[in-house]
């Protein structure tokens, strides 16, 4: 019987690997590890073992797993890991409206608990047209008013065809620092790492008119992989939690 040729994609296997710790978090892991060692050696073995758990959690919080982003320019991918807590129609944030973002948008809010990966990624490929940091409060990031009251950082990414996608990092109850890895004018690819929030927070994504959400309330997203929407398509999805 003749051999049947198969596409290379069917012959290639991907192996699981332990996620690395992002450079931003390595100093915190070292501090936690050093405190654990001192406590175990000088104060108490019991407390030392408790701090081992804290050290492991710190390393896990700053984990930076590899993600595979679908290569389709029409797709808008999730910028954050977490739970979809709100989907609503809104106008653009003031800071992004001043940069040329206009009209009505579908805002998809993704809440990150302290157990989620906190590396944020660009939802589309394009040029960083605007980054705007806004100081504010540290309310529960799950509240709707957190998008206007909390410390936050807006990003506006513009594609080559002029389509713009805005998204916002929002601090939460225990988040005390929002970081950006990119600058205005930088070119990014879809799924590229663009920032980090410490420690528990939310990311809002603004889908333009005519583009509906392809995720549902209560659904979990994976940054750089989960498709939030397809530009120009509104599937009108509904779902059941079970």
- Structural domains of the chain sorted by starting position, each given as residue range(s) with its CATH number in brackets: 20-64 (no CATH), 75-230 (2.70.70)
pTM for the model stands at 0.84
Residues 6+ apart with CB under 8 A from 187: 126, 127, 128
Q: What is the pLDDT of residue 178?
A: 86
Given a cut of 60, whether residue 6 has pLDDT beyond it is: no
Given a cut of 90, whether residue 8 has pLDDT beyond it is: no
Given a cut of 50, whether residue 3 has pLDDT beyond it is: no
Given a cut of 80, whether residue 157 has pLDDT beyond it is: yes
Q: What is the pLDDT of residue 155?
A: 96
* pLDDT greater at residue 239 or residue 12: 239
CA triplet 102, 108, 109: central angle to 5 degrees?
120
Burial of residue 139, with CB atoms counted within 10 A of its CB: 0-12 exposed, 13-18 middle, 19 or more buried: middle
Catalytic residues: 201
pLDDT band at 226 (very low <50, low <70, confident <90, very high): very high
Given a cut of 80, whether residue 105 has pLDDT beyond it is: yes
């Amino acid at each position: 019987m003749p051999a049947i040729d198969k596409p290379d994609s069917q012959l290639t296997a991907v192996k699981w690997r332990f996620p690395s710790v992002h450079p931003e978090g390595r100093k915190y892991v070292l501090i936690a590890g050093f405190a654990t060692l001192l406590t175990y050696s000088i104060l108490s073995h019991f407390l030392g073992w408790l701090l081992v758990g804290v050290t492991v959690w710190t390393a896990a919080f700053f984990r930076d797993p590899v993600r595979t982003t679908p290569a389709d320019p029409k797709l808008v991918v999730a910028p954050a890991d977490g739970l979809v807590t709100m989907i609503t129609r809104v106008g653009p944030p003031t800071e992004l409206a001043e940069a040329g973002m206009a009209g009505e948008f579908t805002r998809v809010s993704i809440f990150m608990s302290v157990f989620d990966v906190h590396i944020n990624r660009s939802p589309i490929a394009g040029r960083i047209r605007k980054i705007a940091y806004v100081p504010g409060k540290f309310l529960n990031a799950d509240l709707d008013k957190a998008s206007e009251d909390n410390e936050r950082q807006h990003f506006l990414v513009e594609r080559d065809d002029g389509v713009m996608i805005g998204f916002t990092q929002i601090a939460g109850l225990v988040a005390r620092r929002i970081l950006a890895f990119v600058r205005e004018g930088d070119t990014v690819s879809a799924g590229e790492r663009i920032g980090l929030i410490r420690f528990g927070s939310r990311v809002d994504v603004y889908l333009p008119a005519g583009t509906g959400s392809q995720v549902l309330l209560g659904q979990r997203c994976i940054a750089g992989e989960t498709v939030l929407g397809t530009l120009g398509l509104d599937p009108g999805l509904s779902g059941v939690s079970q």
